[in-house]
Amino acid sequence: MVPLSTGIAAWGLMTGVAMVKSGMSIVEALAMTFLVYAGSSQLAAIPLIVAAAPAWVILATGFCVNLRFVVFSLHLRPYLMHLPRWRRMVNGYLTADLSYALFTRRFPEPGTSEAQHREQEAYLAGNYFVTWTSWMLPGVAGIVLANFIPSTWGLGFAGVLCLVGILCSLANTRLRLLSAGVAAVAAVVAYALPLKLNIVAAIAAAVLASFWLEGRVPRRWSEA
């Protein structure tokens, strides 16, 4: 947990710096850190907010970047369904990538008894408390520190590099790598589209190209 928290802390710090150095106000950056609580969609939203893209494009992009959580939620459903809805949603909102990975590794099967349910929820809550703290404190520190760093240094670029790293980690099959390539080319070619619609065009082109390729390439292209 400690080396992982260090990674989250560094990521939170850079996200804080990147938000402010990209031109967001301190209030906006703090609101984003505390409310959105999803590093990759925050970082992806920054250039779109700065470019004043329409809200629906920003939200749709954030939704697509977050789609991995939809997959996690399907997996977590049997672990949480015995709880009332508000508690399921609090647990869900606070369970990010790392807590999901550690939780499902520690508990490969959902609990069946009252005691097991309590044990699992306690583990999950303790885990996301550590994750939340290691994200929020450095995030706030980054937002404050960013004011003392000259904008000409270009530290906001660390946010883009962070996205590059997440992108590489998600591109773990050949078809996903191809999907990333198609999206990158489409986003550049369609850059002149108004309202940042090049992002929407890029996602659509990449998903359709991957659908078309799925049946036409060897099966191992879909395997990690």
Partner 1 sequence: MSGQTDVWTLAVILGLAGVTVLTRCFFFILDRPWTLPAWAHRALQYAPVAALAGVVAPEVLMSGGHFLPTWEDARPFAALAGALVYFWRRSVLWTIVAGMAVYLPLHIVLGW
- Scanning 53-61, 101-109, 112-120, 131-139 for contacts with partner 1 by CB under 8 A, the matching segment is 53-61
52 binds partner 1 (CB under 8 A): yes
Measured CA to CA, the distance from residue 191 to residue 53 in angstroms comes to 13
5 binds partner 1 (CB under 8 A): no
23 binds partner 1 (CB under 8 A): yes
Structure tokens at 112: 């069946």
Closest CB 58 distance from partner 1, rounded Å: 6
Going from the C-alpha of 113 to that of each of 87, 109, 117, 126, 191, the distances in angstroms are 18, 12, 6, 20, 55
Residues from 110 through 169 that contact partner 1 (CB under 8 A): 152-155, 157-158, 160-169
CB 143 within 8 A of CB 24: no
185 binds partner 1 (CB under 8 A): yes
Single residue of 74, 148, 216, 219 touching partner 1 by CB under 8 A: 74
Kindly determine how many residues on this chain lie close enough to bind partner 1 according to the rule CB under 8 A.
99
DSSP H stretches of helix in 53-196: 55-65, 67-80, 85-94, 97-106, 114-146, 157-170, 174-189
DSSP state of 113: S
Single residue of 12, 16, 48, 139 touching partner 1 by CB under 8 A: 48
